[in-house]
Amino acid sequence: MDQLHERRKPDKFPQEVKDYIDAAAELGAEKAMERLYAEIGKAGIRKTMLLIGTLLAALLSWLGVKGYLPK
């Protein structure tokens, strides 16, 4: 038998072990997705706060140049 067919032998794990491996893989994937979504949310909040801060600084600068803010 050549190497290609030898590597593709059916595994001989019992069904309980296969089910356990599948459940563990699903749980790991779910946790990874939760962490990914949390990081995406944090990045979105950071960018939003940066945008708000920039707009506030621009507004205050504009009000200062126009003379609407006390010296």
The verdict on residue 9 lying in a domain is: no
Structural domains in the chain (count): 1
Residue in the structure block whose two tokens are 């803010």: 69
Domain assignment present for residue 8? The answer is no
**Helix segments in the chain, DSSP class H:** 3-7, 15-66
Residue 67 Rama label (left phi>0; alpha psi -120 to 50; beta)? left
Residue 49 located in a structural domain: yes
User: Residue 42: inside a domain, yes or no?
Assistant: yes
Instruction: State the amino acid at position 26 in one-letter form.
Output: E
Average pLDDT over residues 27-46: 97
**26 in a structural domain:** yes
Q: In the prediction, which pLDDT does 40 show?
A: 97
Which CA distances in Å does 1 have to 5, 6, 11, 12, 35?
7, 6, 17, 19, 45
The label of the residue with tokens 């940066």 reads 50
Task: Kindly state whether residue 71 falls inside one of the protein's structural domains.
Answer: no
> Domain limits at 52?
15-66
What's the pLDDT band for 44 if we cut at 50, 70, 90?
A: very high
Classify residue 33: in a domain, yes or no.
yes
